[in-house]
Amino acid sequence: MIDALRATLDRQAAQVTPRPDPYARVVGRHRRRRRRITAAIAAAAVLAVVAPGAWLLGRPQPYLPVAGPPPAALLPLLNSPTRGSLAADSAYVESLRQMAAQEDTIDDGSRRLPDDPSLIKVLFAGDIGARRIAVLAGVDGRPLVAAFQGEPGDDADELSHTMLGQLEPVLGMDFAMDSRKAEQTYLLLGPAGAVYETAETRYTGTGMRRSWTRLDAPDDYVGIADLVRRQRFRVLSGGTVLYETEGGTAAAPGAPVTVDPQPAGGRGRPMPAAARQVAEALATMTRLTGPDVTYRVLWSDEIDMPGTTTGRAAVATVQAVTADGGGPYTTGTVDTGDGSYRDHPSGYGIAGDLEHTVLAMRLPWYQVESDRLQLIAPPAAVRAEVVRGTRTDEATLVDGVGGLTVPLGSQLTIRVYDAAGALLATTEYADRDDFGCDRFDPAGCAAGSPSATAGPTVAVTATP
């Protein structure tokens, strides 16, 4: 249980910045107020000093606009009214814009929201459960979006910066890792009039099937105070899927998962603690439990891993096996010293039975990504052919396991053979550097596909 929770928090830590402790929060508030006073004094003193630019003393790094209007795909969201329980409080909304324009901790100085409040759009302002959340975006040729969070009742100056990134046509945001609140708050914000859906997923050895259900969104957004398990969402407009994503994290998995640490087919060495942690993480994400599902280790070992506390890590690839003999799998590594968990986008997928499946992946990394490609093939496989364009490389396999060096960003065809030269399995592989909208089946994300519960077409016009 503790290992599963640790793994979940490690995965989320790269996505959400922890809220500062009360001392840092008070200091930050004081700094903002002092900055405004400093700027005012400097502006008044500019007539009395000779040095040009002296009035910039105490100001944040200058905003560097990107010329031109926002991309057309972002206009439906930017032109939508502010959503949230504080949307009608014009004074509060304006205070958010003023705060964000003066905020000097949004980034390292190279990127920030505009320093002109008139160039900042408040997309969301309101309370969701135990959190007050504000989401603001710049309005230029390449808009950035920033999120802030605090407690219900907080003024704009009391909110803490949580995220800065490129604005997308739809925003799906987790707010977590708050030491004082365990809730996993989730906000899904699309353009005005969007339709929101959630899905139940059925996994098999050959793929997955999803059943979509329309969510009730009377306030024109989805705000969940405590999303206690991972869920899949999508947002539609005019019958077209604009966005599909996963949200939330299961801080409390269901029944404990039982997994035999002995790797199937003798592929590798048993790593019981890592196998259990990876299996629990997989069960958390897929919710595959019960008498019809078993968990097995496809490969595990202890390997050299730069960047870990000991230079070593336990690695395990674990599969949830459904009634047809296959199902989703994932690979995780655990630092043998501090127990920190890592995964990699290419380490997820859906596979069939042992004797006819070859998996290829980049292993998770702690310091720098390796160009080694890991292969997990049928136990009888002794040789692999890896075709990249016009080049073919070979790798020796022991009990079906091996690897070779392949440049990052490659697209490959992989074939594996037994000792008699018979072809046992083949697969196509393409490097992935992000998790996309579906970590188990990225090709199955139906961007642009119709929905049976599509909402009305939304006509959006630009506004100042």
What 3-state class would DSSP assign to 162? strand
Query: In DSSP terms, which residues pair with 189 in a beta bridge?
Result: 171
pTM score of the predicted model: 0.66
In this structure, the dihedral spanned by the alpha carbons of residues 47, 49, 55 and 57, taken in order and rounded to 10 degrees, is -160
Residue 248 has pLDDT above 90, yes or no: no
Q: What is the mean pLDDT of the chain?
A: 82
- Angle ∠(306,403,442) on CA atoms, nearest 5: 85
Q: Do residues 57 and 37 touch, judged by C-beta distance below 8 A?
A: no
At residue 441 the predicted structure's pLDDT band, cuts being 50, 70 and 90, is confident
Q: Give the mean pLDDT of 438-446.
A: 74
d(CA 250, CA 285): 8
Q: Whose CA is closest to 203, among 438, 425, 5, 428?
A: 438
Sign of CA dihedral 247, 331, 168, 13: positive
pLDDT of residue 109: 52
Q: Please write the tens of the pLDDT for every residue from 9-56.
A: 444 443 443 343 443 344 444 444 433 333 333 333 333 333 333 333
H helix runs in 70-159, sequence order: 75-78, 90-102
Q: Do residues 387 and 394 touch, judged by C-beta distance below 8 A?
A: no
> Residue 399: how many CB atoms within 10 A of its CB?
18
Q: Whose CA is closest to 159, among 109, 124, 111, 117?
A: 124
d(CA 60, CA 162): 18
Q: Whose CA is closest to 116, among 71, 62, 68?
A: 62
Q: Please write the tens of the pLDDT for every residue from 351-404.
A: 998 888 999 999 999 999 999 999 999 999 999 999 999 999 999 999 999 999
